[in-house]
Amino acid sequence: MALDQPRTKDPTAIARHATTERRTARYLLTGTALVFLGLFLLLPLVSVFVEAFRKGPAAYFAAFPEPDALAAIRLTLLVAAIAVPLNVIFGVVAAWAIAKFEFKGKAFLTTLIDLPFSVSPVISGLVYVLLFSSHSLLGPWFKSHGIEVLFAVPGIVLATVFVTFPFVARELIPLMQEQGTTDEEAALSLGANGWQTFWHVTLPNIKWGLLYGVLLCNARAMGEFGAVSVVSGHIRGLTNTMPLHVEILYNEYNFVAAFAVASLLALLALVTLVLKSLLELRYGTELRAAGGH
């Protein structure tokens, strides 16, 4: 009588069994994640709005027509309007160079792009103070030509560009590397020039990743505090952005106005997340096809 051969198990079933957690473990992990989100993200965010409306809607909305608050809002929007397009240009160029070409120093360039993630924003602000102060090499030259960098809008823009420029590039580099160069090579072989290839081939392929990068870059630009605090000089009505204005109001014990302006910054961040979620909901298939996340 022949011995029965051992039954071969279904590899799919084995993998499913190996990666499926017990129900108790799933509930425990999910609950732990929700508790952390509630304590460290949702609770502080809710507290901001509670404090902002503590004295009623009238006191809340009275914080915004105040001249220093309006100046801070205008400056924040102006800095973001300058810094974000600059970072878009840099991000697209850097991502194209890194993803599409091989050259010496490529790894070094990729490392430099990540530099603002590892350097404290305060340190980056101090770097610009050293570069453009009255005792530096560049500062007196700019001042002799009537250009104020420190304690003025140019310094704030430079500091904001420094801390935000990785966002667009880091969103596009893996996306463009995954897509490769096949489409561009096909367009060039059909007679398209470099600009036509970028506009009609590369840009449509990266548009969702680019939009993600712009949203994240804009949110960080409007909320940056450390680097801007160093180079701004804290001149009320002139060089205070919204985060700096919140600090001043809080130090003056004007808590309602401080939390009101802070709630506006929080709303801008929430709008960014809502836009991101709407894009994923509306264009989910195209995002996945383009390698978006």
Mean pLDDT highest for which of 102-116, 179-193, 272-286? 102-116
Same domain for 31 and 113, yes or no, is: no
pLDDT at 293: 45
Tell me how far CA of residue 177 lies from CA of 50, 98, 101, 217, in angstroms: 45, 8, 10, 21
pLDDT band of 7, cuts 50, 70, 90 = low
pLDDT at 269: 81
Same domain for 269 and 198, yes or no, is: yes
Q: Is residue 125 part of a domain?
A: yes
Burial class for 246, CB neighbours closer than 10 Å (0-12, 13-18, 19+) = buried
Query: Do 231 and 148 touch, CB atoms closer than 8 A?
Result: no
Parent domain of 256: 56-288
Same domain for 68 and 37, yes or no, is: no
Residues in the chain: 293
pLDDT at 1: 45
pLDDT at 115 over 90: no
pLDDT at 242: 93
Same domain for 186 and 42, yes or no, is: no
Q: Is residue 3 part of a domain?
A: no
CA separation for the pair 93, 293 (Å, rounded):
21
| DSSP letter string, 177-202 | HHH-SHHHHHHHHTT--HHHHIIIII
pLDDT at 141: 86
Nearest to 201 by CA among 182, 222, 229, 219: 182
Give how far the C-alpha of residue 284 lies from the chain's centroid of Cα atoms, to the nearest Å. 21
- Residue with the larger pLDDT of the pair 283 and 226: 226
Same domain for 235 and 97, yes or no, is: yes
Nearest to 115 by CA among 162, 80, 172: 162
What would the pLDDT profile of 86-101 be if each residue is shown by its tens digit? 999 998 988 888 887 8
pLDDT at 6: 52
Same domain for 119 and 27, yes or no, is: no
CATH number at residue 151: 1.10.3720.10
Same domain for 171 and 37, yes or no, is: no
Lowest mean pLDDT among 61-70, 162-171, 178-187: 178-187
Mean pLDDT of the chain: 83
pLDDT at 263 over 60: yes
Mean pLDDT calculated for residue range 128-136: 85
pLDDT at 129 over 80: yes
pLDDT at 116 over 60: yes
Q: Is residue 6 part of a domain?
A: no
Share of the chain above pLDDT 90, in %: 18
Same domain for 125 and 139, yes or no, is: yes
Model confidence, pTM:
0.80
Radius of gyration of the chain (CA): 25
CA separation for the pair 53, 260 (Å, rounded):
8
Domains held by the chain: number: 2
**Helix runs in 252-290, H state only:** 255-282, 284-290
pLDDT at 287 over 70: no
Query: Do 280 and 212 touch, CB atoms closer than 8 A?
Result: no
Nearest to 221 by CA among 82, 72, 99, 26: 82
pLDDT at 11: 52
Query: Do 116 and 278 touch, CB atoms closer than 8 A?
Result: no
pLDDT band of 21, cuts 50, 70, 90 = low
- Residue with the larger pLDDT of the pair 125 and 282: 125
pLDDT at 188: 79
192 CB neighbour count, 10 Å cutoff: 16
| Plot region of 193 (φ>0 → left; ψ -120 to 50 → alpha; else → beta) | beta
pLDDT at 15: 47
Q: Is residue 120 part of a domain?
A: yes
Same domain for 112 and 47, yes or no, is: no
Q: Is residue 2 part of a domain?
A: no
Task: Produce one character per residue of 166-187: b if its CB has 16 or more CB atoms within 10 Å, e if not.
Answer: bbbbbbbbebbeebeeeebeeb
Nearest to 92 by CA among 182, 211, 200: 211
Rounded to 10 deg, the angle between the 255-282 and 242-251 helix axes is: 150
Residue type, 182: T
Q: Is residue 87 part of a domain?
A: yes
Same domain for 188 and 212, yes or no, is: yes
What would the pLDDT profile of 45-86 be if each residue is shown by its tens digit? 888 888 888 888 888 898 888 899 999 999 999 999 999 999
Mean pLDDT calculated for residue range 232-239: 87
CA separation for the pair 292, 34 (Å, rounded):
25
**219 Cβ neighbours under 8 A, 6+ residues apart:** 268, 269, 272
pLDDT at 244: 93
